[in-house]
Each structure stands twice: as structure tokens, then as C-alpha cells.
């Protein structure tokens, strides 16, 4: 079993005993892992994360401290 197969098994949305929210998240993650780079790029553009040139949009750019970004 290669790495991709193990990863897909770990995300198995049909695994018994998981709740519905986890099932839906796993279904979404499986779809993401199956997308091409072009599809992922278009998704980021349509979600407003990147602009057409591949730059982060204003909402995601800045030097304000973030709880999700470590500081030195």
C-alpha cells in the first residue's frame, strides 16, 4: 500500500462509527486530494483567497499578529 492509498484510507468517509460532521469533512478532504493543481487554484480564487494573478487577497495579507501564525 503506497502513501496515497494509506492517506485515502485514513480519510475514509464510510468508516463505521464516525459522526455525520466528521463524515462530511472527510468527504470534502477526499475531494480536495483528488483535485488537480488547476482545480485547487480556481477554488482558491473563487473562495477569495487568491486573486487571478495568484497573489493573496487583501483579507489574507498583512503584518498584524495572528493566533495562527507563530511570532519570533
Transcribe 33-68 into DSSP letters.
HH--HHHHHHHHHHTTSB-TTSPBPGGG---S-BTT
The pLDDT value given to residue 9: 67
Within this chain, do residues 30 and 53 fall inside the same structural domain, yes or no? no
Burial-class residue 41 by CB neighbours within 10 Å (0-12, 13-18, 19+): middle
Structure confidence by residue, pLDDT tens digits, 2-54: 666 666 667 888 889 999 999 999 999 989 989 999 999 999 999 999 999 99
What residues does 69 pair with on adjacent strands? 66
Within this chain, do residues 50 and 25 fall inside the same structural domain, yes or no? no
Within this chain, do residues 50 and 22 fall inside the same structural domain, yes or no? no
> Structural domain tally of the chain?
2
Burial-class residue 26 by CB neighbours within 10 Å (0-12, 13-18, 19+): middle
The pLDDT value given to residue 3: 62
Better pLDDT: 68 or 11? 11
The pLDDT value given to residue 1: 61
Within this chain, do residues 28 and 1 fall inside the same structural domain, yes or no? yes
The pLDDT value given to residue 60: 85
Within this chain, do residues 27 and 41 fall inside the same structural domain, yes or no? no
Range of the domain at 19: 1-34
Within this chain, do residues 3 and 30 fall inside the same structural domain, yes or no? yes
Amino acid at each position: 500500500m503506497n502513501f496515497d492509498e494509506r492517506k485515502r484510507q485514513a480519510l475514509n468517509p464510510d468508516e463505521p462509527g464516525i459522526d455525520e460532521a466528521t463524515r462530511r469533512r472527510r468527504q470534502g478532504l477526499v475531494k480536495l486530494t483528488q483535485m488537480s493543481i488547476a482545480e485547487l487554484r480556481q477554488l482558491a480564487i473563487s473562495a477569495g483567497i487568491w486573486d487571478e494573478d495568484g497573489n493573496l487577497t487583501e483579507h489574507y495579507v498583512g503584518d498584524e499578529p495572528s493566533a495562527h501564525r507563530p511570532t519570533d
